[in-house]
Chains A and B, each alone.
Chain A
Amino acid sequence: MEIVVNMQGITKEFPGVIANDKVDFDLRQGEIHALLGENGAGKSTLMSVLFGLFHPDEGSISIRGEEVRINSPRDATKLGIGMVHQHFKLVHNFTVAQNIILGEEDTKNGLLTMEKSIDKIRKLSELYKLKVDPYAKIEDISVGQQQRVEILKMLYREADILILDEPTAVLTPQEIDELIKILKSLAQEGKSIILITHKLKEIKMAADRCTVLRLGKKIGTVNVKKTTNEELAEMMVGREISFTIDKKKAEAGEVVLKVERLCVHSDRSKRDVVKEMGFEVRKGEILCIAGIEGNGQTELVEALTGLRPISGGSVVLNGKDITHASIRERSLAGMAHVPEDRQRHGLVLDYPLEYNLILQQYFAPPFQKKGFLQFAPIRSYAEKLIDAFDIRTGKGAIALARNMSGGNQQKAIIAREMSRHTDLLIAVQPTRGLDVGAIEYIHDLLVSQRDEGKAVLLISLDLYEVMSLSDRIVVIYEGENVGEFDPASVTERELGLYMSGSKRREAS
């Protein structure tokens, strides 16, 4: 088989970090090649070098045997390289066809000639079984279809080297199967595909070969068929990783949070985005709200924590009605909240770590006396938490939150929320964007909180996390509770059907 991409000794240094350290990478014609590594391992940097977004400090790139310099994405497109970014780059109020031709428009006397282009799009989508309506607007189609539009965009530009950055992050299990089928048929047609991911299961399902990066260095390239998941994980992390979470059976106690017929409006319209939602969380259990992104989870949590007004129904915490209580009242009534957007809500980025660790307690003794901050107790509290939760910063307690890594920012938030001795912990996607080691640590912490008798409400998009952590699962679809499940007696596929709205049942 012909080698279409050959990257030799790629080194790329950013101030303070070597993102890629003499990395070799090759892609064969017609294969699906997975690029595996933790966050910060250098996967995206390597692909950005190939796509012309960064210039390497050292190393060479050859495409189809010819050494090239790729200075911009435009150069990359000319060489037949296409990339689907993790966050789609689509114009939402344009149609599918308009998005696909954007930048490559066919014109006649300065006027658009869409017919020819739409013809070409039709042919492509038939050939590769990428079903989409060229006249549909992007905002009206599902995320899975939007991804197909992104793939069609590459094919329209006649790319035959396709890079997909974490393509499955936003998809349901069914859509993931679909995508993998599409990728395989593309490979059969002679396209060469690079798949950036940190999900081992998908690599096993889709890829032929896999290159593992760790801390900017290449660890090796393996044949996927001959390698086990455990071996891949060990290559990725550099130590053994347990895939199962050790936890005892839950001993659910009294009800801590009771939500009844909760309705929440969206920002702009008076439309309900959470509709008559009801559930209970008990002491000593982890209840997980599972669902695909954008089905009302964000609004639900904002309503529970007081960031957003509630338009109907009630929320009761520890027997106290908090439906219209302020955020501070809820926090004092025993609610802790690990927010979805850790940089926007979770931290004051320009405050030092020690100030961030007292964000809900600065007004209470021992941190406050007669209106003055008490610096000594603040410092010692911070040091205690830094120690207990292994928060790593260059400067300890006085490091600015902004200068901390994502994982340590999250650890700081979790440390703060878990140390407040509340009865309820609401955690929204607590492991999003973190590497395997940090995920493992945070999962263990959540389970230990449960074992200490706290009620934990977990909102997650990651089905693996849902299945392995929760004691009960509530599926949310378009803001409604469409079913409650015991993780021991339900499969991921079954959950996927409820999450995508193809099945529903009344809450038990």
Chain B
Amino acid sequence: MKDLWTKTLERIGRSPTRIEATSSVMAIVCGLLFGLALMLIVNPLEAFPGFFTVITGPFQEGLRSLGNMFYFGVPIILTGLSVAFAFRTGLFNIGATGQLTMGALTAVYIGVNWGFLGPFHWVVAVLGAMLAGALWGAIPGLLKAFRNVHEVVTSIMLNYVAMYFNTMIIMNFLYDFQASRTAHPLPSARLPVLFLQNIFPGSRINIGIFIAVFFVAITHILLKKTTFGYELKATGFSRDASRYAGMNEKRNIVLAMVIAGAISGVAGAMMYLIPGRHLPYETILITEGFTGIAIALLGLSAPIGVMLAGLFYGALHQGGTYLQLYDFRPEIIDIIIAVIIYFSALSLFLQKIVKTFIDKRTKASMGLSEEVETR
């Protein structure tokens, strides 16, 4: 047992990626412990059972809750992917929220008005969302590439532009005055549930999970295997060196933002082409875009990592839905996630702790085993 422990530590210590992953896990643990402490303060009696429910959320009601984990994870995986992809190109896409809003608005607009499309209705709605997100992402990309305006500033501003634009369009074209809320997409625009309803009965899962996995796979291959990914990453690591190498770094920056925007746009479609969910017409920012930043960070900006982190978010979220049974407010989940984000922002610090811990342990145990042998 002891051997296994040190061997695992040694294996982690050998690879920087593994150390980073370990620090992400540590951030999660710290965040959960903080959440537990918070629950103990609010309601000590119910804290432990409540906490247990949160971390076992996806298994509370068998396959139904597991399906819901996927459902909650989908938009977050996509926005996380959007942020992570831009980040690999050296861009900080804080505009995922705006791109998502534009995508959602386009999807809902098509969903409400273009019923003539029949069976292709939902596909066109998703593609429209993708296009809208891509255009919204292109703006900061173009400004960055050609005018050297920092993308953080422009993409934040565009979040608000998208938010007000969204309200304006809804109030003028998409408002359902009888229900006093945004009109609902036609049934033909809803995301298909496919056979998933049979596997996860009663859950809200739909085709979105496949779309999310598809984008994870595409970005993973793009970044790892293609010359385009080689260029994007080179531009991200060093704009000067990629220019020296003759790459068109301006084009790369624009394309990276277009792709990032497109993925966020799809996230918007995934959130609102669903029965019972209404695109908010109030002037509020949709938070999933910001959560994506955290998920990208937690997932180490790697597509697969983002998928795992997004599913973890989905699991927590699902767990959070049960919290009211224990007299807690479900917002505790948001606090836990916020704390996890804080800790993953401290990831460099955590990595250092992991490293020294591993060094010490492996050294100590090596010394110990030598002693044993000499005896």
Those of A271-289 within 8 Å (CB) of chain B: none
Q: Check if B244 sits within 8 Å of A362, measured CB to CB.
A: no
Interface centre among A330, A348, A355 (most CB of B within 10 A): A348
Q: Check if A360 sits within 8 Å of B245, measured CB to CB.
A: yes
Is A487 located at the chain interface by the 8 A CB criterion?
no
Q: Check if B241 sits within 8 Å of A359, measured CB to CB.
A: yes
Q: Check if A373 sits within 8 Å of B225, measured CB to CB.
A: yes
Is A16 located at the chain interface by the 8 A CB criterion?
no
Interface centre among A326, A327, A331, A337 (most CB of B within 10 A): A327
Q: Select one of A337, A351, A355, A368 contacting B244, CB under 8 A.
A: A337
Give 1 or 0 for each of B222-238: 1 = CB within 8 Å of chain A CB: 00011111110110011
Q: Select one of B227, B241, B248 contacting A372, CB under 8 A.
A: B227
Those of A354-373 within 8 Å (CB) of chain B: 355, 359-360, 362-363, 368, 371-373
Q: Select one of A346, A351, A360, A372 contacting B246, CB under 8 A.
A: A360
B251 shortest CB reach to chain A, Å: 12
Give A337 to B243 CA distance when docked, in angstroms. Answer: 13
A335 shortest CB reach to chain B, Å: 10
Q: Check if B238 sits within 8 Å of A307, measured CB to CB.
A: no
- Residues of A contacting B225 with CB < 8 Å? 372-373
B250 shortest CB reach to chain A, Å: 11
Q: Check if A362 sits within 8 Å of B230, measured CB to CB.
A: yes
- Residues of A contacting B248 with CB < 8 Å? 328
- Residues of A contacting B234 with CB < 8 Å? 348, 351, 355, 359
Q: A349-B237, A351-B237 are in contact. Are A359 and B245 (CB under 8 A)?
A: yes
Q: A327-B246, A337-B244, A360-B245 are in contact. Are A373 and B230 (CB under 8 A)?
A: yes
- Residues of A contacting B228 with CB < 8 Å? 371
Give A138 to B75 CA distance when docked, in angstroms. Answer: 58
Is A347 located at the chain interface by the 8 A CB criterion?
yes
- Residues of A contacting B230 with CB < 8 Å? 355, 362, 373
- Residues of B contacting A307 with CB < 8 Å? 243-244
A/B pair count, beta carbons within 8 Å: 65
Q: A363-B227, A372-B225 are in contact. Are A347 and B241 (CB under 8 A)?
A: yes
- Residues of B contacting A254 with CB < 8 Å? none
Give 1 or 0 for each of A340-356: 1 = CB within 8 Å of chain B CB: 00001111111100010
Q: How many residues on B have C-beta within 8 angstroms of the other chain's C-beta atoms?
A: 20
- Residues of A contacting B241 with CB < 8 Å? 344-349, 359
Q: A362-B227, A368-B227 are in contact. Are A326 and B246 (CB under 8 A)?
A: yes
Is B154 located at the chain interface by the 8 A CB criterion?
no
A325 shortest CB reach to chain B, Å: 10
Q: Check if A349 sits within 8 Å of B226, measured CB to CB.
A: no
Interface centre among B230, B231, B233, B238 (most CB of A within 10 A): B230
- Residues of B contacting A329 with CB < 8 Å? 246
Residue of A nearest to B230 (CB): A362
- Residues of A contacting B246 with CB < 8 Å? 306, 326-331, 360
Q: Select one of B226, B237, B240, B247 contacting A345, CB under 8 A.
A: B240
Q: Check if A348 sits within 8 Å of B237, measured CB to CB.
A: yes
Give A328 to B246 CA distance when docked, in angstroms. Answer: 4
- Residues of A contacting B226 with CB < 8 Å? 371-373
A297 shortest CB reach to chain B, Å: 17
- Residues of A contacting B229 with CB < 8 Å? 373
Give A355 to B227 CA distance when docked, in angstroms. Answer: 11
Q: A337-B244, A360-B246 are in contact. Are A348 and B227 (CB under 8 A)?
A: no
A176 shortest CB reach to chain B, Å: 33
Is A82 located at the chain interface by the 8 A CB criterion?
no
Is B242 located at the chain interface by the 8 A CB criterion?
yes
A491 shortest CB reach to chain B, Å: 36
Give A300 to B1 CA distance when docked, in angstroms. Answer: 65
- Residues of B contacting A360 with CB < 8 Å? 245-246
Is A37 located at the chain interface by the 8 A CB criterion?
no
A399 shortest CB reach to chain B, Å: 13
Give 1 or 0 for each of B324-366: 1 = CB within 8 Å of chain A CB: 0000000000000000000000000000000000000000000
Q: A350-B237, A351-B234 are in contact. Are A345 and B227 (CB under 8 A)?
A: no
- Residues of B contacting A368 with CB < 8 Å? 227
Is A339 located at the chain interface by the 8 A CB criterion?
yes
A370 shortest CB reach to chain B, Å: 9
- Residues of B contacting A355 with CB < 8 Å? 230, 234
Q: Check if A348 sits within 8 Å of B238, measured CB to CB.
A: yes
Interface centre among B229, B238, B244 (most CB of A within 10 A): B244
Give 1 or 0 for each of B201-232: 1 = CB within 8 Å of chain A CB: 00000000000000000000000011111110
B234 shortest CB reach to chain A, Å: 5
A30 shortest CB reach to chain B, Å: 48
Residue of B nearest to A350 (CB): B237
Those of A68-84 within 8 Å (CB) of chain B: none
| Sample of 12 further A-B pairs with CB below 8 A, known A330-B246, A339-B244, A350-B237 | A327-B245, A346-B244, A348-B237, A349-B241, A359-B245, A360-B245, A362-B227, A362-B231, A371-B227, A371-B228, A373-B225, A373-B230
Q: Which residues of B contact A (CB under 8 A)?
A: 225-231, 233-234, 237-238, 240-248
Question: A-B pairs with the 8 shortest C-beta distances?
Answer: A328-B246, A345-B244, A327-B246, A359-B245, A350-B237, A348-B241, A348-B237, A344-B240
Q: Would you give 13 A-B contacts (Cβ < 8 Å), ordered by A?
A: A305-B244, A306-B246, A327-B246, A330-B246, A345-B241, A346-B244, A348-B234, A348-B238, A348-B242, A359-B241, A360-B246, A362-B231, A372-B226
Q: Which residues of A contact B (CB under 8 A)?
A: 305-307, 326-331, 337, 339, 344-351, 355, 359-360, 362-363, 368, 371-373
